[in-house]
Structure 1
Amino acid sequence: MKIRHTKRFKEIIHAFLRNGLSRFLLRLGLITRNESKHDTSDMNMQEIGEKLRQALQELGPTFIKLGQIASSRRDLVPPMIAFELEKLLDHVTPVPFEQIQEIVQFELDGPLEEFFSEFSEEPLATASIGQVHVSRLHSGEQVAVKVQRPDIRPTMETDLAILDDFAKFLVKRADWAKTYRLRDMIVEFSKSLHNELDYRLEGRNCERIAKQFEKQPNVSIPKVHWNFSTDKVLTMDKIEGIKANDLEKLDQYGYDRKLIARRIFDSMLHQILDEGFFHGDPHPGNIFILPDNVVSYLDFGMVGRLDNKLKEQFAPLILHMRNRNTEGMVSLFYEMGIISDETDLRAFTRDVDELQNKYYDISLDEISLGTIFIELFQVAYRHNIMIPTEIAVLGKSILTLEGVISKLDPSLNMMTAVEPFGKKLMWKRYNPKKVLENSWVEIIGSLGILYRFPKELKAIATTIRKGKLSLDVNPQQLKMILGKLDQISNRLSFSIMLFSLSILLAGLFIGSAIVGRSSFLWQYPTIEALFVIFLLMFVYLIHTIGRSRRK
């Protein structure tokens, strides 16, 4: 621990002690038994969660954000503690207007009156990182100006350095910290927090999501005014609407709650499954309803991302969950590369099967997609399987979204409603053009393997001669490994044969064209027949590749 961080470190320890979490600190090795004054052994998980929430709230912005992110990791954090951490509030004492004015004038490089005809002194909303003031531009547009709190960065930098040192300490002392790559998680959290401190990045996130809905008038994203924005000041259109959870007001003004619920659902699924870039915190305070049942999203500091591979894996995951296909789900976890050598595959398969059986006799209309996700994450946790952060954020977003939608329209079930999106993604994955592209890549890759094979075989033989070859194979995984190897070798041989035939065909076509002779042999069209054979073999190869991916 750096000397300059000692004071802040003591503040952190004392905050935990004041809230009765000394046993927690003792287990982590941060205090001695003599310093442990309060015992939490008689507390249940909810009480521990409440104490932890109070301590984090007391410690300020960095720890509030840490708790909020931790609440989304249901694969790592016990449900009752996660539920309490979701209650962490960003509301803090407002910064005096004089300081806000000074920050805006410094950032925009001029007096306030030069940029705004009106600027409210009372904030519309306050949060741990910044606060929002309603203002008006000289052009007449009403805007919301988000201003970062003064001197917040140095405090956060100190807190993040302490958390990093803390993670290093635990990785050396505790196996669980190493297993779950605690240091990597803190580094990722630090990166996320630095992104939130840069309002320009939030503005770009906003514009990126706005482009997703350029042709959809039912979804509105506020416009960013870049001439009045910096990394510490963000100026956007002021949204005048009703919060998505204010059901009484929505009914009072005649809004169609079922239509709103469907639009929120469709717009979020479009962000997640079509675009792979989505709002990471779609709670009711970030969703406003405008006239004509238009949905408007706010606050893009936290976003989620799914690359093409994760999107392709998400679709079969949903369908396997819906069809209660345990083997398909376990195979998909393998494909995602998150099952480690230490995982007891038989026990994991049994637990996933038990989770599926739990919902066997329940109608799909009664099943919560978000709840199944969380329970699946908890099963993964018990078997030391690390869920990718992107999928964890997605699971939390779906759970939050489901809470919003269930109040607007209790009859809309996400488990059944998401199926068309899943099938659409599956079609994208297995449409002929996509399969053709993937097949060609695999053929080229197979040729590369063939080219390197003699050298690698020679290296293996040398290792065997030196007596240095060792094998560590889990018997439970041996059958699956051998099956995969058999598939790979068969496909490699077939691909090479197909590639050779294509070269032969090309040579025959070119040769017959040059010499100007007929391609008939014994009165049969030779080249045409070969072409048909080639085409049938190619279709068969595509079919086998597609079938193996679905397993």
Structure 2
Amino acid sequence: MDSTAIPWEEARDAIRTQLGRPLEEVFAEIDPTPLAAASVAQVHAARLHGGDEVVVKIQRPRARAQVTTDLDILVRLAAEAERRTDWARAYGAAALVDEFARALREELDYRVEVANSSMLRGAVEASGGAGLRVPRAYAEFSTAQMIVQERVYGTPFARLAPDAVDAEEARAIADRLLEAVFDQIAVRGVFHADLHAGNVILARDGGVALIDFGAVGILERSMRRLLVPMLVAMANEDDVAVTDVVLLMCGTEGADVVALQRDIGVILTRMRGTRGPDGPGMDENVFRLLLDVLRRNRMALPPSLLLVFRTLASLEGTLRRICPDYDMVDHALSIAPRMALRLASPESAVLSMQTWSALLGEQLLRIPRRVERISRALDEGTLSVRLRSFESPDERGWVDGLAGRLTTTVVGSTLLFAGILLAVDDGGPMLTGDVPAFAFLGSVAGLGGLLLLLRSLRSAFRRR
């Protein structure tokens, strides 16, 4: 729902301030009635002197100060939550809020949005377009608080009537949009990160246009190399492979691998049981379910991947606006192997091999110098080794207990063996008329050794 628009006089003054000149010098005409209004900005239709039809997105004068105050409160709350609670530290609350704050500050700087739209246009053009359109931004008229952008005629998915598009055509449009978004994420690494139904427009020619580029995600290549195999493994219901990829993404510290794999396997089995023409369909988004599993296991995804999963969850709701029974997960997993082939190009493989070969060669060249330093330290008696294992009290207690049991076992065995040797010896002095001294001492030593062995054995079984 649109927010209350600011008066035209206030909006006009803001536009004039950003342009640094009268509106008439840039626009042949501009509509005082906004096309849309939000809490941070509002949009007016206009036409340039060259005849191009554009929209002017002008930021509300007091929006920046209000958002800055709210972000400062969030950052303080996240830091306090991490200081006081284990769950906030486990989820990386401060890092998530920092990433959110950074993204929101970028959304307030419309120069970033102009750069984002240009970057996304390049990614779409590199993938062939597939009916997806990113409107052009006029950088010469855009500033930190205003954007002048090509106007797109069409209907936002949020305002589509249920029967506005033929069912077969609607499914084809949804398939094309999903494949284009997955290409952005998995292959190009640059994607629109706010794909709610208001930002996706069904153009009059049947194509799809994206608007509002304040939130554009960047997924680094190392993460893309993990994301695509994870999707392929999910399509193959391979819970072991999915678990391994998740551990590579999130780290293994403190992870209960068995419990994590079991939870992931349950999700994949449920997903498999609801897919297909005869299946009831899966109402829950598998990516959202995976995030829930990670939260239960006290694991946190890197912020860039978290943004990917959030984007996919938002995209599913958008696609169902045009095709109510659309199964995004089923189609997404079916195209994952194709995306893997696009990512693993021969040229990229050759370049990666050259890079890693150069790094390996550099490391090999440094080995003689390191060996020489170790040899010198040995000669000078200054070589020291620090072990990081057994630093916690529990680990040290386990080592101390093991050493104690080992010592008790060795002493007990020695006493028992010595007792047996003394007991069978017929020589030596007599303690009494009938009792040899060696036999008596052997019996005492053997009894002591036996008691020590029994104590060690009892302690070992108690530990189990």
* TM-score (ref. length: structure 2): 0.73
Cα deviation for residue 412 of structure 1 reads: 4.9
C-alpha separation in 2, matches of 1:402 and 1:252: 18
- Specify the alignment match of 2:65 in structure 1: 154
Contact 1:289 1:295 in 2 (8 A): yes
Q: Residue by residue, what CA displacement relative to the aligned partner does 1:457-484 show, whole Å, maximum 9, x if unpaired?
A: 776998997574242599xxxxxxxxxx
Distance 1:320 1:117, change over 3 A: same
Aligned AA (1:393): L
C-alpha separation in 1, matches of 2:391 and 2:273: 38
Specify the SS of the correspondent of 1:284.
coil
C-alpha separation in 1, matches of 2:273 and 2:215: 37
Contact 2:199 2:210 in 1 (8 A): yes
C-alpha separation in 2, matches of 1:153 and 1:272: 30
C-alpha separation in 2, matches of 1:308 and 1:323: 23
- Specify the alignment match of 1:223 in structure 2: 136
1:298 aligns with 2:203: no
- Specify the alignment match of 1:284 in structure 2: 197
> Based on CA coordinates, which of the two structures has the bigger radius of gyration?
2
Distance 1:468 1:389, change over 3 A: closer
Bigger shift: residues 124-133 or 206-215: 206-215
1:105-116 correspondence runs (5 A): 105-116=16-27
1:195 aligns with 2:106: yes
- Specify the alignment match of 1:387 in structure 2: 301
- Specify the alignment match of 2:84 in structure 1: 173
Q: Residue by residue, what CA displacement relative to the aligned partner does 1:421-448 show, whole Å, maximum 9, x if unpaired?
A: 4223433555555444444444444444
- Specify the alignment match of 1:374 in structure 2: 288
Contact 1:273 1:421 in 2 (8 A): no
Bigger shift: residues 173-182 or 362-371: 362-371
Distance 1:450 1:160, change over 3 A: same
C-alpha separation in 1, matches of 2:314 and 2:299: 24
- Specify the alignment match of 2:233 in structure 1: 320
1:455-474 correspondence runs (5 A): 468-472=386-390
Aligned AA (2:389): L
C-alpha separation in 2, matches of 1:279 and 1:370: 22
Distance 1:429 1:233, change over 3 A: closer
Contact 1:255 1:293 in 2 (8 A): no
Contiguous gaps of at least 5 residues in structure 2: 393-464
Specify the SS of the correspondent of 2:198.
helix
- Specify the alignment match of 1:83 in structure 2: none
Aligned AA (2:137): V
Contact 1:94 1:123 in 2 (8 A): yes
Aligned AA (1:168): A
1:454-533 correspondence runs (5 A): 468-472=386-390
Q: Residue by residue, what CA displacement relative to the aligned partner does 1:190-221 show, whole Å, maximum 9, x if unpaired?
A: 21111011111111211222233445372222
- Specify the alignment match of 2:52 in structure 1: 141
1:359 aligns with 2:271: yes
Q: How many residues align?
A: 384
- Specify the alignment match of 1:414 in structure 2: 328
Specify the SS of the correspondent of 1:136.
strand
- RMSD across aligned positions (CA): 3.2
Distance 1:407 1:381, change over 3 A: same
Distance 1:151 1:257, change over 3 A: same
C-alpha separation in 1, matches of 2:194 and 2:215: 6
Contact 1:370 1:399 in 2 (8 A): no
Cα deviation for residue 343 of structure 1 reads: 1.4
Contact 1:170 1:177 in 2 (8 A): yes
